[in-house]
Amino acid sequence: MGAQQVRDDFAGLYGAEPEGVWSAPGRVNLIGEHTDYNDGFVMPFALPHVATAAVTRRDDGVLRLHSADVEGGVVELRVDALAPESDRNWTAYPAGVVWALREAGHPVTGADVHLASTVPTGAGLSSSAALEVVIALALNDLYELGLQRWQLARLCQRAENVYVGAPTGIMDQTASACCTRGHALFLDTRDLSQRQIPLDLAAEGMRLLVVDTQVKHAHSDGEYGKRRAGCEKGAALLGVDALRDIPYDGLDAALARLGDEDEVVRLVRHVVTEDQRVEHVVALLESGETRAIGPVLTAGHASLRDDFRISCPELDLVVDTALASGALGARMTGGGFGGSAIVLAEAADVETVTKAVESAFAAAGFTAPRTFEAVPSAGALRVS
Ligand code: GAF
């Protein structure tokens, strides 16, 4: 849905034009999975799919929320009554941002909001972060809070962790807030320092496909939290603040120290090797060896499947089939347990790869996947 439509729908709903319209994108992660809550490296880029919000400020303590994507009317809340984990609906994301801003001392006294999103939900493409960031950016502008993008991302993460109750890292909110068109974002999640890495695959005759397996994932279910707790246990056993502090060339020694803690050994090995893969991909891209990132992506998938154990048959089938039909590399992306995979392929091979994946899904009796090309797009912005 276009921004003008969102503006018009707001006017129809609330009886006046909004003060402004903002958008914030979903993301795919090129490499660096489950490293963000270990203070490590990630490398997402923004999708052209966005959450769009038309918003007007209110000064009477009332927050009115409406979504074009969800059945039901306007939800009316009082900003001073917002309470963590009190809401299991979509409204928890925008309301959580208002709560986080107020809790941080920002004088947000209400808003009228109408939202519409083109980011697929449950596909591991950060539909919830897009909702949070678009609201944070709108309120930052309307209330003239003067917060920087990384600060908005931190507040949105707090909304998700505390208000929604999902123990996620900082990658998705930072990607939505800070990515720029034509670049992947090389982000150090420890201090949020970042570097924009040019990524124009089409100019080099390649494409990056996103294959949504249609297997719905959910963060707040226990598996994500269990992996996070396992990583924290590993860091504690090894006497470091976070697994980021285990250097790649110290991995074998660290694993030896963990002895027969098999599960922790696997989790630590994934995180430490994944950080190294991010740095490797950055080095390859910066030296113009773009095709060589393919096998690194594929190695990342193997690590998520075998060590972190968060893949599923549908994701493995995408990866195996894509590679068997000529892709340069493929991996699951996002939190896991369903959602999407990415496939790096020569432009000339895209049709063959796509058809092979579709046929393999049909033969396995899986729901047909949805495939689209991902081009690094703009981060959050004010549209009008
Ligand atoms: C989800 C989380 F929200 C991110 O913080 C990150 O941990 C990711 O899973 C895995 O890399 O998208």
CATH number, domain with residue 34: 3.30.230.10
103 and 213 assigned to the same domain = no
Complete edge-to-edge strand list for the sheet that includes strand 41-42: 41-42, 183-188, 193-198
- The CA 42 to ligand 1 mean position distance, Å, reads 10
- List, for residues 38-90, the tens digit of each pLDDT value: 999 999 999 999 999 999 999 999 999 999 999 999 999 999 999 999 999 99
Question: How is residue 101 annotated by DSSP?
Answer: H
- List, for residues 174-183, the tens digit of each pLDDT value: 999 999 999 9
**Counting Cβ atoms within 10 Å, is residue 31 exposed (0-12), middle (13-18) or buried (19+)?**
buried
190 and 207 assigned to the same domain = no
Rg (CA), the chain: 21
* Candidate list 39, 112, 172, 212, residue with the active-site label: 172
Q: Which residues contact 235 (CB under 8 A, 6 or more apart)?
A: 38, 241, 242, 243, 245
92 and 238 assigned to the same domain = no
88 and 175 assigned to the same domain = yes
CA distance 323 to 344: 9
Instruction: State the pLDDT at residue 163.
Output: 98
Which of 125, 168, 176 has the most ligand 1 atoms within 8 A of CB, as the residue to mutate?
168
33 is in an annotated binding site: yes
29 and 155 assigned to the same domain = yes
pTM of the model: 0.98
Tokens for 157, please give them: 């993460």
288 and 233 assigned to the same domain = yes
- The CA 321 to ligand 1 mean position distance, Å, reads 25
Instruction: State the pLDDT at residue 315.
Output: 98
Nearest residue (CA) to ligand 1, atom 8: 335
43 and 159 assigned to the same domain = yes
Which of 35, 157, 172, 297 has the most ligand 1 atoms within 8 A of CB, as the residue to mutate?
172
100 and 223 assigned to the same domain = no
223 and 273 assigned to the same domain = yes
86 and 116 assigned to the same domain = yes
CA distance 167 to 276: 24
Q: Does ligand 1 have an atom closer than 6 angstroms to the CB of 275?
A: no
Active site residue 172: yes
Q: Summarize the confidence of residues 250-254 as an average pLDDT.
A: 98
3-class state of residue 203 by DSSP: helix
352 is in an annotated binding site: no
Query: CATH code at 328?
Result: 3.30.70.890
- List, for residues 348-381, the tens digit of each pLDDT value: 999 999 999 999 999 999 999 999 999 999 999 9
Q: Does ligand 1 have an atom closer than 6 angstroms to the CB of 149?
A: no
- List, for residues 310-342, the tens digit of each pLDDT value: 999 999 999 999 999 999 999 999 999 999 999
- List, for residues 271-312, the tens digit of each pLDDT value: 999 999 999 999 999 999 999 999 999 999 999 999 999 999
Mean per-residue pLDDT over the chain, rounded? 97
Q: Where are the alpha helices (DSSP H) in 62-169?
A: 92-103, 127-142, 149-158
> Which residues sit opposite 183 in a β-bridge?
198
Domain containing 265: what range?
200-373
Q: Summarize the confidence of residues 147-158 as an average pLDDT.
A: 98
The identity of residue 25, as a single letter, is P
**For the chain, how many structural domains are there in total?**
2
Instruction: State the pLDDT at residue 1.
Output: 74
Nearest residue (CA) to ligand 1, atom 2: 168
CA distance 57 to 233: 44
Instruction: State the pLDDT at residue 218.
Output: 63
CA distance 147 to 37: 23
- The CA 170 to ligand 1 mean position distance, Å, reads 8
Nearest residue (CA) to ligand 1, atom 3: 168
CA distance 366 to 31: 26
H or E segment to which residue 324 belongs: helix 313-324
222 and 351 assigned to the same domain = yes
Instruction: State the pLDDT at residue 217.
Output: 73
232 and 189 assigned to the same domain = no
Q: Does ligand 1 have an atom closer than 6 angstroms to the CB of 311?
A: no
- List, for residues 179-227, the tens digit of each pLDDT value: 999 999 999 999 999 999 999 999 999 999 999 999 987 654 699 999 9
